[in-house]
Chain A
């Protein structure tokens, strides 16, 4: 009776349960950060990595697509970590950002977005070719997925790709966003990601809003608004370029070689 009632209370107040759950998770992470690494590995980096592990465990247990949130007890995590709250919090980080910094890197940030889309698309398309794909539609869809997991299905649907190729493009985009979350704090120093200027370039090149959001949070939260600012244009630019110019280029190249 007690267990049933408790489950009911937790599941019935899903968002509040998520606040408590994430609070405990963050507390554990900062504890581990201090005790095990004496603060060298950011608490937030550990929290994000733990979150991904928990998502894996939840996903393999339920077979669902929303990580731990597919367990009814933790359904609120999907609301708290959903696009609505994520965007709301990202916008709030702009409070205190400096307009001058944004202006300074505005142009190079914009160029980075276009370059980032073309680069990720090309690398992803190249991998598709290396794995034996020869038709322009599949190659372009997988290349688009390497941009973000939204550009992939949008492009695949527009070009009429097979559903398993579209699923593959989503998985490529997911891999990218997860790797950006984990990898950013590890390589930040090596690629000189330490000020507003480089953060805008980084956000434009990476483009995955969730990856950039988590990657910068784990590196230096002060950089978040600058990286997020450019990243937020990436998916739109990708949806514009991938099914049009980039697809036509791929089609021309495949026709030339076959």
Chain B
């Protein structure tokens, strides 16, 4: 049943967000710490249970795959609701700070990836 897949996805999200909120409160920050990441891990673990006799039927999988495929449209909607005006109109400091952070982070991507791979070898 398609709804089993959707329900499983919902279960993973709620457990993950709950764990992320608890973790945030435990370390004393007003933010969800890694809730979505926990939910993703949980989904990966549950969907790999087929080795242990818990196989998902094709309709169940399609309930998850539908939302996987809706990812890009949802991101497009997210882009269309961003406060672009505020980002562009609040002066040069905000733009300079944001831009410099992005440039510096991009520069470090190949550095960190190389260092990590070198350590793995």
State whether A89 and B37 are in contact (beta carbons under 8 Å apart), knowing that A94-B44, A191-B110 are contacts in the complex. no
Q: How far is the CB of A183 from chain B (nearest CB, A)?
A: 6
A-side contacts of B28, CB under 8 Å: 240
State whether A221 and B72 are in contact (beta carbons under 8 Å apart), knowing that A115-B112, A168-B93, A181-B79 are contacts in the complex. yes
B48, B77, B87: most-surrounded residue (chain A CB, <10 A): B77
A202 within 8 A of B: yes
A223 within 8 A of B: no
Q: Are A87 and B36 in contact (CB-based, < 8 A)?
A: yes
A251 within 8 A of B: no
Q: Are B78 and A179 in contact (CB-based, < 8 A)?
A: no
Having A92-B71, A217-B72, A232-B37, one finds 6 other A-B pairs with CB under 8 Å, namely A88-B10, A89-B70, A167-B90, A180-B102, A225-B40, A236-B20
B-side contacts of A177, CB under 8 Å: 82
CA distance A128 to B67 in the complex (A): 41
Q: How far is the CB of B20 from chain A (nearest CB, A)?
A: 7
State whether A44 and B72 are in contact (beta carbons under 8 Å apart), knowing that A90-B40, A232-B36, A236-B24 are contacts in the complex. yes
CA distance A67 to B108 in the complex (A): 32
**From residue 154 to 208 of chain A, which have CB atoms closer than 8 A to chain B?**
154, 167-181, 183, 187, 191-193, 197-198, 201-202, 205-207
B-side contacts of A191, CB under 8 Å: 106-107, 109-110
- Mask, A222-243, CB within 8 Å of B = 1, is 0011001110110111111000
B54 within 8 A of A: no
Q: Please give the number of chain B residues whose Cβ is less than 8 angstroms from any Cβ of chain A in the complex.
A: 80
Q: Please give the number of chain A residues whose Cβ is less than 8 angstroms from any Cβ of chain B in the complex.
A: 116
State whether A147 and B80 are in contact (beta carbons under 8 Å apart), knowing that A22-B73, A142-B93, A236-B33 are contacts in the complex. no
Residues of chain A having any CB pair with chain B under 8 Å: 18-19, 22-23, 25-26, 44, 47-52, 54-56, 58-60, 65-69, 74, 77-78, 80-82, 85-97, 99, 102, 104-105, 107-108, 111-112, 115-116, 119-120, 123-124, 126-128, 130-131, 142-143, 145-147, 150-151, 154, 167-181, 183, 187, 191-193, 197-198, 201-202, 205-207, 209-210, 213-214, 217, 221, 224-225, 228-230, 232-233, 235-240
